Amino acid sequence: MAAVDTAVLADWISRFRDAVTEKREWLTELDSAIGDADHGANMARGMDAVMAKLEAGAPATADELLKTVGMTLVSSVGGASGPLYGTLFLRMGMTAGAVTELDPAQLGAALRAGLDGIVARGKAEAGDKTMFDAMAPAVDAFDASIAEGADLAVATAEAARAGEEGRDGTEPLVARKGRASYLGERSAGHLDPGAASTALLFDALAAAVADRTR
């Protein structure tokens, strides 16, 4: 695959909705240990709202699609997840522009812009035990794969693998941001729920790309 078009992007979002719906109780369980016990419910509700918008009329361009996702998440997801995930997709849309497909470099630039948006909003750094700990490795792995000449299927698979490793790496960390930081040392020993849902996001992207390259 040389590029992802709006159909692949829409499939990505649909697969992410299905993943957070399937893993809703797991995400809530993770959040109950170190947060407000609402991450699964919030993400499932937000992604249902996103899909309702997209199914009512699929946007024709990448920026319209991604901005629709972002604005819907901001308005429908409570807690920190809505603004953070919303910012991710809004920044991706702004960077993608009014095009109908994204080549590997353009997709990488959009993902990087989304990551930068999350950093700007949440001020998170590596090791803070947040979604950044899954997202940054995933974006870095995608960029590295593309730089080495890999195609989109390989690059997104590498991003998904790095996201999962980043998620797993949050378990021993002591949270330094968000509600979990109030627990201090007691936050260690638990996966970060935001990192867990972020890994699902990159798993969904890899699956959407792989399905189109079979």
Residue 213 pLDDT level (bands cut at 50, 70, 90): confident
What CATH number does residue 144 fall under? 1.25.40.340
Report the share of the chain in percent with pLDDT over 70: 98
Residue 182, pLDDT above cutoff 70: no
In this prediction, residues 35-58 reach a mean pLDDT of 92
At 36, is the secondary structure helix, strand, or coil? coil
| pLDDT 10s digits, 58-102 | 899 999 999 999 999 999 987 788 999 999 999 999 999 999 999
Q: Where are the alpha helices (DSSP H) in the chain?
A: 6-22, 24-34, 39-56, 62-76, 81-96, 104-122, 132-147, 152-168, 193-213
Q: Residue count of the chain, please give it.
A: 214
Residue 102, domain extent: 4-213
**pLDDT tens-digit readout, 98-139:** 999 999 999 999 999 999 999 998 888 898 899 999 999 999
Q: How many domains does the chain have?
A: 1
